[in-house]
Amino acid sequence: MQPVGFVGLGLMGGPMAANLLKAGFELSVYNRSADKARTLGDAGARVVPLAREVATPGGVVVTMLADDKVLETLTTGPDGFGERLGAGGLHLSMSTVSPETSRRLAHWHAHRGSQYVAAPVFGRPPAAAAGKLWVVQSGETAAKARAQPILAAMGQGVFDFGEDPGAANVVKLAGNFLIVCVLEAFAEAQTLAQKNGIERKALSDFLTQTIFACGVFQNYGPVIAAGRADQIGFPLRLGLKDVRLVQQIAESSQTPMPFAGTVHDRLLSAVAKGRGEMDWTAFTLSVSEDAGVAPSA
């Protein structure tokens, strides 16, 4: 199998990289906090001190990073892997970033003879560990074909959205917007029920087993019902970042999105209350607080 470099070993990147090792890929890994690479090193990955050292000329580098700035710095910066990747290389970007960032990086790679595929994912850390992520991709056809064995080791399905490198990021942000709106609506329904004598868990069990028996409700419903946000699957501050990206795209394409303003303010309020490093479901605690009750199952 072709050697693969992996940059970004956080809550999602760590288990994703581990699945590449399990699939038999020769793996080099880099993370800004070196301690997060130790487990992968013990499992057989080559741990390197600089991002540029994950790249094999003409090889493949996968990135799973927190935001646009970090992605661009570790790709095109002085210690980035992009120049070393060079002609014939492939950058498989699985981060949730702006579509314009993806288009800009695709252009940057093209001038160096390398290719860029956007392949953000849907799923929380347990799904990443199980290799059950849903992947949305866009980019050049040949580059996507080359990426398929790598994506297959990390996900349960890949959905293609054409050759525009920014298209997959639009899909990812649209999906995250829908999820955060679902969380807000679910929290409002739970609080309404609670204030009218209905147990939150009872309502959650009913909804998630019947008319809303789908992954998002089943994953998040019990968490919101219990008023817990301590098991971090996705930090709240990154959820705020994603909603801001949604608003930027909406503004540039003249797309009114009033719900985006509501969830943005919920997330911003949660950050102001010191909840930015909690799971992003923590913003729903404010729904109960505004109603004068403490969330409880």
The confidence score (pLDDT) of residue 229 equals 87
CATH of 170-290, one of 1.10.3720.10, 1.10.1040.10, 3.40.50.10420, 1.10.132.50: 1.10.1040.10
- Per the rule left: phi > 0, alpha: psi between -120 and 50, beta: everything else, 55 is beta
- Write out the catalytic residue numbers: 172
Classify burial at 112, counting beta carbons within 10 Å of its beta carbon; exposed 0-12, middle 13-18, buried 19 or more: middle
Judge if 4-163 and 170-290 fold alike in CATH terms.
no
Strands 115-118 and 133-139: antiparallel
Question: How confident is the model at residue 233, as a pLDDT?
Answer: 93
Domain extent listing, the chain: 4-163, 170-290
* Letter string b/e over residues 95-104, b meaning 16 or more CB atoms within 10 A of that residue's CB: bbbbbebbbb
Strands (E), the chain: 4-7, 27-30, 46-47, 60-63, 90-93, 115-118, 121-122, 133-139, 155-160
Q: Which CATH class name applies to 4-163? A: alpha beta
- Model pTM score: 0.96
Check residue 189 and give its pLDDT: 97
Q: Please give the angle made by the CA atoms of 231, 243 and 116, to the nearest 5 degrees.
A: 95
Q: 18 is written with which tokens?
A: 């581990």
The residue ranges of the chain whose pLDDT is under 70 are 297
- Residue 235 carries which DSSP code? B
What is residue 128's predicted lDDT score, i.e. its pLDDT? 98
What pLDDT score does 42 carry?
96
